Amino acid sequence: MTLNANSIDWAIDFVACQSDGDLFPKLPEMEAIAARKADLIQLIENKPLNAFQPEHAGALLSLKMKSHIVKRLNWTLRIQ
């Protein structure tokens, strides 16, 4: 299954406009996504959706954040 450019464009616009509420709060990332919508569409359109493998949350953290978490974890383990 793939998505065409029109579907991706509609989805980005819909989420950017409709997701401002208590149930679905507006994501700060949506401003950046909307600003570079054409680039995102080009990356995603007509590619098999099963080719996009999910990453665990740790893979999305910056190197600086990972190092901070590891240091904090090491510190916590030493105390126990």
Please report how many Cα atoms fall inside a 13 Å half-sphere around the Cα of residue 57, on the Cβ side: 2
Taking CA atoms, 3 is separated from 6, 41, 52, 54, in Å, by 8, 9, 12, 17
pTM exceeding the 0.75 threshold for the entire prediction:
no
| Residue 51, token pair as written in the block | 């080719």
Q: Say which residues have a Cβ less than 8 Å from residue 15's Cβ, sequence separation at least 6.
A: 27, 30
Torsion over CA of 21, 24, 25 and 30, rounded to 10 degrees?
-120
- Total of domains in the chain: 1
Output the tens digit of pLDDT for each of the chain's 80 residues. Answer: 899 999 999 998 988 888 766 666 777 788 888 888 999 899 889 998 888 776 665 655 555 555 555 555 555 455 54
Show the domain range for 50. Answer: 5-79
What are the tens digits of pLDDT across the range 9-25? 999 898 888 876 666 67
